[in-house]
Structure 1
């Protein structure tokens, strides 16, 4: 059974499987990003350097904040947690953007995927700031999340290109 038809569309049953997966993953992203931070278990409360408060809204507006403030991170354990958070953000949008590449032939271009990934990330970060303003969900608007989420979207596009090359 072929993965793609002659028009570059995903074949059935793959199309249905990817659509269901994309919907489920979108729900998971919403739960991860939009529920109050306090409901998630925490190993240790880490105060990331570079935090700026605008009233109730908490931000980290410094690009590559971990590198810029490397000397201010109090322990190796804190550094590992912060780096892992950044790595996790690379993978946050990757499955969803990969599904979009599989399902929507018209967006299978680098610039479009770059824009889609950035806008999805900006929507998440902005919504988190709004939720913090309205309900004090203890979320942080981070420029690094915009960068890492967008990188994840680009990696999804590259993964799609590799899959297409393999599946010819």
Structure 2
């Protein structure tokens, strides 16, 4: 059985499987992004340089903050932790955007994926600010998250294009 039909649409039963996985992953994103930061186990408290506090709102508004404040990172362990956070953010919405490309022909355009990825990321970051204002969830609004999440969406689109070419 082929993965795609002649119009490059995902065939059954693959469509049902991807839809189910998409629902599960969307729930996982909500749990990762919207629960209080304090419930997650941490190795140690890492304070990323460039953090700004606006009352209960914590933000990092400097684009490419890790590079800009590289010299202020106190040790190698903190540097690795900060880099891994950025890498994880690249892959946060990657599976969701990839699934949307598989399921929705109308978004299979670079500009649409770029916009959708950015808006998903902006929605996550904005919701985290609102949760911090309402419940003090200790979340951080980061410009770099907008950049890395959007990059992840673009990479998902490129992977979709590659998979489609290879399998059709």
- Equivalents in 1 of 2:7, 2:144: separation in Å? 38
The one-character-per-residue Cα deviations of 1:88-125 (angstroms, maximum 9, x if unpaired) are 00000000000000000010000000000000000000
Give the match for residue 79 of structure 2.
79
Superposed CA RMSD:
0.6
Give the match for residue 131 of structure 1.
131
* 2:31 match: secondary structure: helix
Contact 2:8 2:164 in 1 (8 A): no
TM-score (norm 1): 0.99
Alignment of 1:10-159 (within 5 A): 10-159=10-159
Equivalent residue pairs, number: 168
TM-score (norm 2): 0.99
- Equivalents in 1 of 2:39, 2:122: separation in Å? 23
- Equivalents in 1 of 2:11, 2:46: separation in Å? 46
The more displaced of 2-11 and 102-111 is 2-11
Structure 1: stretches of 5+ with no match in the other structure = none
- Equivalents in 1 of 2:57, 2:133: separation in Å? 6
Structure 2: stretches of 5+ with no match in the other structure = none
